[in-house]
Amino acid sequence: MPALAQFLHELDAVEHAALAALAAAADAHALEAARVQFLGARSGRLKELQQALAQLARDEKPAAGKRFNEVKARVEEALAAARQRVEQQKSATTHEAAFDPTLPGRRPRLGHLHPITRTIDELKDIMGRLGFSVADGPEVEDEWHNFEALNIPPAHPARDPLENFYLAAAVAARPDRAASPLLLRSQTSTVQIRVMERTPPPVRIISVGRVYRPDTADATHYPMFHQMEGLWVDRHVTMADLKSVLRLFAACYFGGEGHIRFRPSFFPFTEPSVEVDMAWNQGWIEMGGAGMVDPHVLAAVGYDPEEYTGFAFGLGVERLCMRRYQVEDIREFYKNDVRFLRKF
């Protein structure tokens, strides 16, 4: 057979085979194999024919080249069409597999508030109903508000640097306070002072927030925890009011079984002072401290102790939440273990 006839014959055969292979390709894999076989840049069948084209006689080349180009274009078009078909088939099958209307729906996992945040909201709500408004104070405090105004003199053991988180850097950053180092507040009683300094009596507030102490963490202690401070100063406020408010609070927060008891105690800023326990697990756990605001404290903020009396209390928020939900270990709140947090 003359060389041109032989070339055109092979070209026809390759075209036929390529179109058939592309039409039969069922997936991207088969398609790629067909592409390499016929259009491959190094050893594809059309590449081989292109090399054969170069060997033809000069006068045969124009016709052979034109036919070669037609075949190559047709095969490339067929490849593009086959790609589209395979792509469509793939997305149709994935869709079908992903959507099975008989399967139970997947419930999206919803986040919710941390149990301590929820407890704080609830405490504010209960105390709001008892007539207490909410006040706030800073977590970084000076010694006046954390100690001095609360009747805790410089030599008092509660001011020991080992019992507190003093901030060396913050002191240096505030030369005007050189004589008064700053610390992370160790109790929310600081807010009593701040509120009384700026508000003439009567006051009836609570303040809930974080406090910090270098306590070793155990089942009932954590170095950072929350307190709810309460303060009511007015004419004729008595210890009986303090006990009634705390009993009412316990009844609201714990329901019927909110038994609390008062034990005589001592705080430098209240006189008399009590510790308040709540019943738990056939025993008692300390819930907070309380007492009648010491006349020295009233005087330190400019209130007349002859005219006004008041009570204050400071309760451990984590302990309240533990008692309410039977959480046996305070550390659970701060492990960020979603298996625990999801229970609330």
* Interface residue list for ligand FA5 (CB under 6 A): 187, 189, 213, 215, 221-222, 225, 227, 267, 270, 286-291, 312-314, 316, 318-319, 330
Distance in Å, CB of 252 to ligand FA5, minimum: 18
Distance in Å, CB of 207 to ligand FA5, minimum: 11
Measure the CA–CA gap between 36 and 316, rounded to whole angstroms. Answer: 74
Q: In 27-60, which residue ranges form alpha helices assigned H by DSSP?
A: 28-39, 45-55
Distance in Å, CB of 188 to ligand FA5, minimum: 7
Cβ proximity to ligand FA5: between 201 and 314 the closer is 314
Cβ proximity to ligand FA5: between 46 and 276 the closer is 276
Cβ proximity to ligand FA5: between 76 and 329 the closer is 329
Distance in Å, CB of 311 to ligand FA5, minimum: 8
Measure the CA–CA gap between 12 and 1, rounded to whole angstroms. Answer: 15
Edge-to-edge strand order for the sheet containing 165-167?
140-142, 182-184, 165-167
Cβ proximity to ligand FA5: between 56 and 227 the closer is 227
Distance in Å, CB of 197 to ligand FA5, minimum: 16
Angle at which helices 115-129 and 239-254 cross, to 10°? 130
Cβ proximity to ligand FA5: between 22 and 327 the closer is 327
Q: Which residue is nearest to ligand FA5 (CB)?
A: 316
**Which residue has tokens 């190559």?**
72
Cβ proximity to ligand FA5: between 213 and 259 the closer is 213
**Interacting residues of 152 by C-beta distance below 8 A, sequence separation 6+:** 146, 158, 159, 268, 269
Contact 154, 270 (CB under 8 A): no
Distance in Å, CB of 177 to ligand FA5, minimum: 23
Measure the CA–CA gap between 41 and 254, rounded to whole angstroms. Answer: 80
- φ/ψ bin of 25: left (φ > 0), alpha (ψ from -120 to 50), beta (otherwise): beta
CA atoms within 13 A on the CB side of 19: 11
Cβ proximity to ligand FA5: between 77 and 218 the closer is 218
Examine residue 202 and say whether the peptide bond preceding it is cis (omega within 30 degrees of 0): yes
Residue of 218, 231, 242 whose CA lies nearest to 322: 218
Distance in Å, CB of 182 to ligand FA5, minimum: 19
Cβ proximity to ligand FA5: between 68 and 147 the closer is 147
Distance in Å, CB of 137 to ligand FA5, minimum: 13
For 187, the 3-state DSSP assignment is coil
